[in-house]
């Protein structure tokens, strides 16, 4: 390979692991490495990560990925043009700018310790749960960073003292990574991008700036917040002390926005990412579409300082792949995640069993933090294969709930259809290797489900943004995905409409059974 070959690195920091992938100029991976890190659950409903462990995982991943690419003949040291970053959203960190140490473990997006803060705000504010909807597109929920930040400001003495001294910095994981990568205590850059900022509840969707009224209402000091940048611009350069010093950081997106870019979703197109949770986004172009059916209005991407802003409707599902992990780690029903497909295909239905994984409440479109998981319809006939299949179906039913709401909000004109008049769902994420899951999804939706040849579209989206900013790719090349789609796998529905409707009605009954269960006695 020629010495002048261009490479783009993608740092993908997820809920359970960190990856670094190196792509060539044809967007093909040439080296990668992944490291899992610890997830702490100190109390029921609390989920935390160690920010310092995340930084160590980044160092290992970059080093190993570069070694792997170099070992097979790629001159990455000379050809690495830029890196892009994509990250778990809403997860909240506060650290000391003088010591570089986190002042508390990161509070993860699915953590529900802020329930009481949410209830208090809903009672005190004139708009109740929807008080900030006009500015940020989000309801008051445990999901978003602002509530986690309030909890840290109210409950952690080290945070209170650091804020008082002017030594505290707040950020989502992208901010924490960029600050460390660009120097840390030695003039590290304190920034975030528009997609991650849109998930804090603090950014105004139209101005793309921190909303002064919201900050004042929530008593959040502006001086601890990062500067907001677009998704594709040179943000800064990797500092000395890292393996790849001087390389520009030129792309940054929250993971679901990155997946949307990786799937080349244009206006009217939707994607669903199946990871720990599941996240469905519909690109609404430059239109800010308000939801009346339990969805979030969010930012899709802004590919440059002066580029137009694309918005999206989003439905977030807290528990998808995490339910499979629960079967493996907590129940011991399977020994590896891939075993669930084999187990589920031993039966042709769930035998009337329905599973709703409301472990920490339900997100879109229900927004019930008082919900808890249920497994219903159990008979003497029920075996573990029925339960395994019910777990797979639970992911697909939740996605259907969200897509049904999207259809109501966006309408026929808001959805792009193929030459057959069909709306397609693009899918990505680790769970999509499961063909049974994908077929169940197509059957329950009644529309084709399209799986790309490369299912790691989150990392690819971050690489696209970074490469776009430094001229490795153009927008036309990124969004002209006809050739790539020839390699896609399409799952077409085969379930008859009458049975689909009956199954959906049964699922809705099961969901209703989860409500108002948060205070069950221990």
Tens of pLDDT, residues 413-451: 678 887 888 889 999 888 898 999 999 999 999 999 999
Those residues whose C-beta lies under 8 Å from the C-beta of residue 36, and which sit 6 or more positions away, are 16, 17
Please list the residues that pair with 227 across neighbouring strands: 191
Token output for 204:
């105004």
Which stretches of the chain score pLDDT less than 70?
Answer: 1-4, 412-413, 481-486, 521-522
Token output for 31:
């080296």
- Cα separation of 278 and 275, whole Å? 6
Token output for 332:
């011991």
Cis peptide before 53 (omega within 30 of 0): no
Provide the strand spans (E) within 111-179: 168-172
Residue 481: predicted pLDDT: 65
Q: What is the DSSP string of 364-415?
A: TTT-BTT---EEE---TT--HHHHHHHHHHHHHHHHHHHHHHHHHHHTGGGS
- Cα separation of 365 and 398, whole Å? 9
Residue 486: predicted pLDDT: 66
- Cβ atoms within 10 A of the Cβ of 147, count? 25
Backbone angles phi and psi of 74, in degrees to 5: -90, 130
Cβ pair 472, 25 in contact under 8 A: yes
Q: Is 423 helix (H, G, I), strand (E, B) or coil?
A: strand
Rg (CA), the chain: 22
Q: What secondary structure letter does DSSP report for 201?
A: S
User: In whole angstroms, what separates CA 457 from the centre of its chain?
Assistant: 12
Residue 439: predicted pLDDT: 95
- Cα separation of 483 and 79, whole Å? 26
- Cα separation of 68 and 64, whole Å? 6
Architecture (CATH level 2) of domain 321-401+498-520: 2-Layer Sandwich (3.30)
- Cα separation of 57 and 37, whole Å? 7
Residue 290: predicted pLDDT: 87
Residue 2: predicted pLDDT: 37
- Cα separation of 478 and 472, whole Å? 11
Residue 412: predicted pLDDT: 67
Spans of all domains in the chain? 321-401+498-520
Residue among 60, 138, 84 nearest 461 (CA): 84
Q: What is the DSSP string of 266-296?
A: -TT-EEEEESSSEEEEEEEET--PPPSSS-E
Cβ pair 261, 273 in contact under 8 A: no
Residue 399: predicted pLDDT: 95
Q: Is 33 helix (H, G, I), strand (E, B) or coil?
A: strand
Residue 1: predicted pLDDT: 34
H helix count then E strand count, the chain: 18, 21
Tokens 């989206």 -> residue: 461
Token output for 166:
């002017």
Residue 518: predicted pLDDT: 83
């Amino acid at each position: 390979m020629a010495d002048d070959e261009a490479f783009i690195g993608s740092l993908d920091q997820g809920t359970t692991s960190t990856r670094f992938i190196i792509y060539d100029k044809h967007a093909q991976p040439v080296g990668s490495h992944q490291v899992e890190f610890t997830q702490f659950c100190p109390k029921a409903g609390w989920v935390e990560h160690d920010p310092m462990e995340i930084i160590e995982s980044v160092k290992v991943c970059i080093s190993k990925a570069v070694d792997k690419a170099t070992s097979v003949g790629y001159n990455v040291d000379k050809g690495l043009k830029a890196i892009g970053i994509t990250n778990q959203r809403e997860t909240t960190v506060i650290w000391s700018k003088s010591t570089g140490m986190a002042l508390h473990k990161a509070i993860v997006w699915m953590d529900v310790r802020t329930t009481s803060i949410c209830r208090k705000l809903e009672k005190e504010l004139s708009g109740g749960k929807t008080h900030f909807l006009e500015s940020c597109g989000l309801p008051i929920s445990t999901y978003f960073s602002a509530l986690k930040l309030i909890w840290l400001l109210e409950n952690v003495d080290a945070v209170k003292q650091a804020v008082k001294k002017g030594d505290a910095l707040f950020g989502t994981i992208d901010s924490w990574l960029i600050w460390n990568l660009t120097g840390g205590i030695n003039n590290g850059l304190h920034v975030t991008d528009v997609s991650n900022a849109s998930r804090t509840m603090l950014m105004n969707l139209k101005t793309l700036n921190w909303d002064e009224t919201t900050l004042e209402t929530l008593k959040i000091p502006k001086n601890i917040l990062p500067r907001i940048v677009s998704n594709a611009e040179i943000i800064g350069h990797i500092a000395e002390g890292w393996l790849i010093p001087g390389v520009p950081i030129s792309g940054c997106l929250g993971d679901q926005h990155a997946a949307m870019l990786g799937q080349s979703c244009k206006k009217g197109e939707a994607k669903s990412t199946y990871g720990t949770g599941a996240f469905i986004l519909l690109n609404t172009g430059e239109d800010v579409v308000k939801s009346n059916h339990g969805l979030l209005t969010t930012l899709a991407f802004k590919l440059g300082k002066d580029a137009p802003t694309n918005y999206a409707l989003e439905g977030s599902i807290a528990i998808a792949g995490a339910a499979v992990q629960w079967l493996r780690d907590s129940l011991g029903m399977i020994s590896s995640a891939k075993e669930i497909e084999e187990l589920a295909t031993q039966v042709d239905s769930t035998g009337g069993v329905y599973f709703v994984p409301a472990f920490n409440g339900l997100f879109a479109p229900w927004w019930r933090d008082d919900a808890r998981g249920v497994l219903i319809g159990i008979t003497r006939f029920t075996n573990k294969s029925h339960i395994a299949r019910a777990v797979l179906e639970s992911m697909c039913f939740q996605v259907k709930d969200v897509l049904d709401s999207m259809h109501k909000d966006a309408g026929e004109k808001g959805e792009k259809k193929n030459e057959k008049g069909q709306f397609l769902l693009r899918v990505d994420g680790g769970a999509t290797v499961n063909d049974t899951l994908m077929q169940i999804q197509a059957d329950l939706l009644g529309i084709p489900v399209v799986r790309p040849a490369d299912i790691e579209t989150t990392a690819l989206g971050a690489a696209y943004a970074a490469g776009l900013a430094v001229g490795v790719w153009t927008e036309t090349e990124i969004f002209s995905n006809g050739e790539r789609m020839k390699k896609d796998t399409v799952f077409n529905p085969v379930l008859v409409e009458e049975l689909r409707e009956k199954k959906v009605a049964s699922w809705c009954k099961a969901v209703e059974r989860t409500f108002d269960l948060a205070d069950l006695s221990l």
